[in-house]
Structure 1
Amino acid sequence: MKGISYSRYGGPDVLAYGEVDDPRVGPDSVLVKVRAAAVNPVDWKCREGHLDQLIEPVFPVVPGWDVCGVVVQPGLAVTEFLVGDEVIGYVRQDVLAHGTFAEYVAAPVRTLARKPRNLTWEEAAGLPLAGLTAYQVLTKTLQVRRDETILVHAAAGGVGSLAVQLARHAGARVIGTASPGNHDFVRGLGGEPVAYGDGLAERVRGLAPEGVTAVFDTVGGDALKVSANLLAPEGRLVSIADPDVVDYGGRYHFTRPDPDDLLRLSELAEQGVVSVRVARTLPLDRAAEAHRLSEEGGTPGKIVVTVDWETVMPT
């Protein structure tokens, strides 16, 4: 089958399009025919070796954790899905090996849920990792409640935009950092946008003079110091980008696959509570460009690669 792979750590240039090994379908997995797979910052961080001490690579690595596609073969022990079921998945395993940037992926059932019926393949592919991250941080780590004020960094990004929508659904007030060109987008999600850069603390204080109840950091670095100083007494701070958050009294979050959480996200999408903005789509053979765009940053919404099955020849 065709796919994207890399045989050593490096920049986008190490990604090669061509033949990759067919995935093996274990008893608790299903074979998914990939229609779309989203790019996440963790993909290029893995490719560059930043997670080497956390997740072992088995070269050549097929990258990608997000997927949307169709079940074509259930494993021997699988009762949750049937052939023809449309699914989404955050297909993270304990090694880097057979990811979602290929024509097929073998996905453990613990990583999957049914696809939201109202989303396109591309939109649905952008939901799993970003959606699970936003949902788990807000409901389990920050435990955001009605009438609280939460600051979301990078509120126009993949995770941030979903966090804004989910926090507003929970009844919270949301202040979101974003570049000026994305302020209207953040407002449309229900957030109150503020610009990045010098003077951020003063701008946030202008909207929340007594401080914010919670901070959802997706940026790291200087944003953590600013965020810690903006917290109201007993405020909570979580980062998905910088483990140094613990030095500021906060918590670091690494998202885990959870089929119940993913199903809840699918339901919320069907109810119109959350939507996914797809900023750019590229064919599978241009995945290196998709990685490059993600690494450059500043893209509102998700970058998605697609498999055009009308042009795929049988293997």
Structure 2
Amino acid sequence: MIYETFGGPEALELREVPEPHAGPGEVRVRVTAAGLNPMDWAIAARPELAARFGIAVPSGFGSDLAGVIDEAGDGVEGFAAGDRVHGTALGKAVADHVVIRPPADALWRTPEGVGDEVAATLGVAGLTAAAALAAIGPRAGDTVLIGGAAGGVGVFAVQLARLAGATVIGTASPGTFGFLRRLGAEPVAYGAGLAERVRALAPGGVTAATDLFGTETAEAALTLGVAPGRISTVAAGPNPPGGVQATGAYSAAADAMERITAAIAGGGLTVPIAATFPVEKIRDAVTLQAGRHVHGKVVVTF
């Protein structure tokens, strides 16, 4: 999948290109599934954002993938041909074959009990959720407010906070309330008056918060008296309000992915797949993802 100009889904083109091969220190993954993230279409649409990630046109598309290693170059350690894997390859994930150089590109083995469509959703969203929660340390007895709880990162954050023993309140639109309750969160509508609505739901107080969308939830948490050190943001830029902590997938612990996949394999964490599309329908997949009303993850299959 290639785009030569920045723009919406219409800029994406499916093309035949020369087959890549693994060189020294590299592996080639035969991709079976690629999970989409909001950052994928945002980078493809906004040249200033793309520049921040070192991406220029023409470019490939997508970040998260899963599949099987079918070539391993000389000097590769820890991986071999035939291994089921999943990982993140920024700007090149949506392709039949992707060449990856671990550890510069993140790559993990896919454990038994985790399918490729699920594994393909984990790289960006799973690690972002893990980092957002690690920054605030949820534990038994906490009441955690999660902003953007029904989104691609939110579905992980809600469940990971619950696994840590916390009570979770999640902001969302009313249409997603039933979905959030099934994940174990008490939903609350975002928008003006958020702090007052949260106070009514949690008269004993909120003790920690993470904002996965902007700053509204972080600001509400400050209003509710949550200490800035127990509030994190992932999409508010490097200087969020009130001294709260800015973080992202880059800050996730080294063992975060292993803990996530173990929870999935053990049945303690589920990954809602909202929709799957064959790669030929990727424009439809990106249009659905960009609408920001999808409940769970969108996956492209090969």
TM-score normalised according to structure 1 size: 0.87
1:274 aligns to 2:269 (yes or no): yes
The answer to whether the 8 A contact 1:238-1:250 is kept is: yes
**Could you report, residue by residue, the CA deviation over 1:114-167 in whole angstroms, capped at 9, with x for unpaired residues?**
21322332122112211111112212x222222211111121211101111111
Call closer, same or farther: CA 1:231–1:162 in 2, change over 3 Å.
Answer: farther
Counterpart-to-counterpart distance in 1, 2:233 and 2:174:
23
More strand by share: 1
What CA distance in whole angstroms lies between the structure 2 residues aligned with 1:269 and 1:261?
A: 13
Q: Are 2:290 and 1:292 equivalent residues in the alignment?
A: no
Equivalent residue for 2:247, pick from 253, 259, 262:
253
CA distance in 2, matches of 1:47, 1:165: 30
Q: Return the match for 1:123 from 101, 112, 118.
A: 118
1:89 pairs with one of 84, 87, 90: 87
Q: Distance in 2 between matches of 1:191 and 1:304?
A: 24
CA change 1:266–1:27 in 2 (3 A) is farther
Q: CA RMSD in A?
A: 2.0
Change in 2 beyond 3 A, CA 1:45/1:231? farther
Picking from 139, 159, 162, the partner of 1:165 is 159
Q: Which runs of 5 or more residues in structure 2 are unaligned? A: none
C-alpha contact (below 8 Å) 2:136/2:229 kept by paired residues: no
Shift in CA distance, 57/170, structure 1 to aligned 2, threshold 3 Å: same
1:243 paired with 2:237, answer yes
Change in Cα spacing, 1:234 to 1:129, as seen in structure 2 (3 Å) is: closer
Once the two structures are superposed, the pairs formed by residues 96-245 of structure 1 within 5 Å of their partners are 96=91, 99-110=92-103, 111-139=106-134, 141-233=135-227, 236-243=230-237
Q: Secondary structure at the match of 1:106?
A: strand
The one-letter code matched in structure 2 to 1:204 is: V
Q: Does 1:14 align with 2:8?
A: no
Paired with 1:181 and 1:214, the residues of 2 have a C-alpha distance of 25
Go from structure 1 to structure 2 and tell me whether the alpha carbon gap of 1:240 and 1:234 turns closer, same or farther (over 3 Å shift).
closer
- Measure the CA separation in 2 of the matches of 1:234 and 1:118: 38
Query: In the TM superposition, what is the alpha-carbon distance from 1:24 to its structure 2 partner?
Result: 4.6
| 1:305 has 2:271 as partner | no
Distance change in 2, residues 1:52/1:58 (3 Å): closer
Count of residues paired in the alignment:
298
- Partner SS state of residue 193, structure 1: strand
Corresponding residue for residue 62 of structure 1: 60
Q: Using a 3 Å threshold, how does the CA distance of structure 1 residues 223 and 72 change in structure 2: closer, same or farther?
A: same
Task: Indicate conservation of the 8 Å contact 2:210/2:218, yes or no.
Answer: no
Instruction: State TM-score, norm by structure 2.
Output: 0.91
Distance 2:84 2:65 in 1: 11
- Unmatched segments (≥5 aa) in structure 1: 308-315
Amino acid at match of 1:13: E
Change (3 A) 1:131 1:64: same
Identity in percent: 40
